[in-house]
Amino acid sequence: MLGKTVKRCCVAVSSPILFLFSSLAHAEYGLNMTKGVTPLSREVYDLHMLIFYICCTIAVAVFGIMFWSIYHHRKSKGARPAQFHHSTRLEILWTAIPIFILVIMAVPATRTLINMEATGDADMTIKVTGYQWKWEYEYIDEGFSFFSALDAESNEIRQLKSGLDPNEMEHYLLDVDKPLVVPVGTKIRFLTTAADVIHAWWVPDLGWKRDSIPGFINESWALIEEEGTYRGQCAELCGRDHAFMPIVVKAVSEDDYFDWVGEMMVAAADANAGADREWAMAELMEKGEQVYATFCQACHQANGQGIPGAFATLVGSPITVGPIEGHIDIVLNGKAGTAMAAFGSQLNDVELAAVVTYERNAWGNDVGDLVQPATIAGMR
């Protein structure tokens, strides 16, 4: 850790110089926008480079002149002040030229923008829903959906003063438990929306980001041409863990994609299995712990004690050791005006039963009672 830091300090101090004297192409420092892997992303990249070069040219010209003047028209070099103070011809000139340049930029910009909005005739549709702080992907045509949250390892490292070294992990904060899997060479229509606050779904390699807004749906599209894993992050401040809801897109061949879909269908089928039978404490606690880790831990923490002032503790709280109905109700329907979401829409009866049971018996709450999926179903 420390060695790394020292090393980086050196790099840090030296690299501005490096940066000035060597070529700009410090690939490993990532200096420029990615070309990406879709037609759109490449168009955007080209547009970006075009306007960048135009601005550089203008800057060089304009400031070349300025600094030339600053050097030559100094009093110390005996320059006498001229007294001219206006010239209509010049004013017109330097109004007209910029306008002309702007038009040159506007043309390709308009073309690209129109392409980006052309979400029609897509081969498949994925509905992306932002939650505090994870993503839900719903395959509209195939009819299954799943949540995708920050992976366990990153989550451990990123805890305040965890003492663990982020440098040990290549995809620190850019890895998830379940990636979004899509086929290459397919025009995919993305529908972005949110369940609580505004988020923004962004994978740089796809060439755009789109806000996901509660109550509304935005449409975008992407056609990925190369197989590979593409990473991105939530790009709209969405509360405490805004930095910790990454996006991972795995682009695979058509065949692999359909195999994967097959598995997902099966999984979806037996997800709610056992909703109708009685569950034993042990199994509920076990399942509950998993559910808690993915859905509750971010706020209420692994030790259930939450964060004073921000997130309520579950240890010995009136909810978790109080009447069971109240507990189930708040988990089902959330608490308005706070970050406590309504998990009724996110979890099935088994998962809810398990997590409530877990919360009532973990961390020395030991209320002892257990909730059956049937009870949950009754309270929906």
Partner 1 sequence: MSNLSSGAYYIPEPSSWPVVGSVALCLSFVGAAIMLNGSGLGTFILGVGMAAVIYMFYSWFRDVIDESLAGRYNQQVDISFRWGMGWFILSEVMFFAAFFGALYYARIYSIPWLGGEGDGAATNEFLWSGFEAIWPLLSTPDMVIDAAQTKYTQIKAVIPAWGIPALNTAILLSSGATVTFAHWDLKKGNRTGLCWWLAATVALGFIFVGFQAYEYVHAYQDLGLTLNSGIYGSTFFILTGFHGFHVTMGATMLLVILLRSMAGHFTKHNHFAFEGVAWYWHFVDVVWLGLFIFVYWL
Partner 2 sequence: MSETASQADHHDDHDHKPTGIRRWLFSTNHKDIGTMYLVFALIMFFIGGAMAMVIRAELFQPGLQFVDPQFFNSMTTMHALVMIFGAVMPAGVGLANWMIPMMIGAPDMALPRMNNMSFWILPFAFAMLLATLFMEGGAPAGGWTMYPPLVSQLGDGFPFLIFTVHFLGISSIMGAINIIATVFNMRAPGMGFMQLPLFVWTWIITAFLLIVSLPVLAGAVTMLLTDKYFGTSFFVAAGGGDPVMFQHIFWFFGHPEVYILILPAFGIVSQILPTFARKPLFGYVSMVYATAAIAFLSLFVWAHHMFTVGMPLAGELFFMYATMSIAVPTGVKIFNWMATMWRGSMTFETPMLFAVAFVFLFALGGFSGLMLGITPADFQYHDTYFVVAHFHYVLVTGAVFALMAASYFWLPKWTGHMYDEKLGKLHFWISVISVNVLFFPQHFLGLAGMPRRIPDYNIQFAEWNMISSLGGFVFGLSQLIFVWVVIKCVRGGEKATDKVWEGAEGLEWTLPSPPPFHSFTTPPQVGMATARS
Closest separation in Å from C-beta 185 to ligand HEA:
31
The torsion angles phi and psi of 40, rounded to 5 degrees, stand at: -60, -50
From the list ligand CUA, partner 1, partner 2, none, pick the one residue 130 interacts with, judged by a Cβ distance below 5 to 8 Å according to partner type.
ligand CUA
* Residue 193 binds to partner 1 (criterion: CB under 8 A): yes
* Residue 58 binds to ligand HEA (criterion: CB under 6 A): yes
Q: Which two tokens stand for residue 34?
A: 């990615």
Q: Which two tokens stand for residue 17?
A: 């110089």
Closest separation in Å from C-beta 137 to partner 1:
14
Of the two residues 141 and 161, which places its CB atom closer to partner 2 in the complex?
A: 161
Closest separation in Å from C-beta 339 to ligand CUA:
12
Angle at 97 between CA 93 and CA 99, to 5 degrees: 120
- The 17-56 site mask, x for binding ligand HEA (CB under 6 A), equals --------------------------------------x-
Of the two residues 29 and 216, which places its CB atom closer to partner 1 in the complex?
A: 216
Reduced to 3 states (helix: H, G, I; strand: E, B; else coil), residue 213 is coil
Closest separation in Å from C-beta 245 to ligand CUA:
5
* Residue 109 binds to partner 2 (criterion: CB under 8 A): yes
Beta strand 247-252 with 228-234: parallel, antiparallel or unpaired?
antiparallel
Of the two residues 103 and 336, which places its CB atom closer to ligand HEA in the complex?
A: 103
For residues 284 and 291, the answer to whether their CB atoms sit within 8 Å is no
Scanning residues 158 to 217, which ones bind ligand CUA (CB under 6 A)? 199
Work out the number of other CB atoms within 10 angstroms of the CB of residue 195: 18
Q: Which two tokens stand for residue 239?
A: 């509360």
* Residue 272 binds to partner 2 (criterion: CB under 8 A): no
Taking the C-alpha atoms of residue 78 and residue 26, their distance in angstroms, rounded to an integer, is 44
Sheet order of strands, 180-183 included: 180-183, 247-252, 228-234, 199-203, 208-212
CA atoms lying within 13 Å on the CB side of residue 99 = 6
Of the two residues 132 and 372, which places its CB atom closer to ligand CUA in the complex?
A: 132
Scanning residues 264 to 323, which ones bind ligand HEA (CB under 6 A)? none
Scanning residues 98 to 157, which ones bind partner 1 (CB under 8 A)? 127
Work out the number of other CB atoms within 10 angstroms of the CB of residue 206: 28
Of the two residues 120 and 364, which places its CB atom closer to partner 1 in the complex?
A: 120
Distance of CA 125 to the CA centre of its chain: 19
Query: Site size for partner 2, by CB under 8 A?
Result: 110
Among 263, 303, 310, 380, binds partner 2 (CB under 8 A): 310
- The 70-109 site mask, x for binding ligand HEA (CB under 6 A), equals ----------------------------x--xx-------
Taking the C-alpha atoms of residue 234 and residue 176, their distance in angstroms, rounded to an integer, is 13
Taking the C-alpha atoms of residue 251 and residue 180, their distance in angstroms, rounded to an integer, is 8
Give the helix/strand (H/E) hosting 23: none
Peptide bond into 133 cis (omega under 30): yes
Of the two residues 16 and 368, which places its CB atom closer to partner 2 in the complex?
A: 16
Q: Give 222's strand partners.
A: 188
Scanning residues 102 to 131, which ones bind ligand CUA (CB under 6 A)? 130
Taking the C-alpha atoms of residue 199 and residue 204, their distance in angstroms, rounded to an integer, is 16
For residues 223 and 187, the answer to whether their CB atoms sit within 8 Å is yes
For residues 176 and 150, the answer to whether their CB atoms sit within 8 Å is yes
Closest separation in Å from C-beta 116 to partner 2:
6
Taking the C-alpha atoms of residue 198 and residue 196, their distance in angstroms, rounded to an integer, is 7
Q: Which two tokens stand for residue 203?
A: 């994978």
Closest separation in Å from C-beta 146 to ligand CUA:
17
From the list partner 1, partner 2, ligand HEA, none, pick the one residue 127 interacts with, judged by a Cβ distance below 5 to 8 Å according to partner type.
partner 1
Scanning residues 217 to 256, which ones bind ligand CUA (CB under 6 A)? 234, 236-238, 242, 245
Q: Give the residues lining the site for ligand CUA (CB under 6 A).
A: 130, 133, 199, 234, 236-238, 242, 245
Q: Give the residues lining the site for ligand HEA (CB under 6 A).
A: 55, 58, 62, 98, 101-102
Q: Give the residues lining the site for partner 1 (CB under 8 A).
A: 127, 191, 193, 215-217, 219
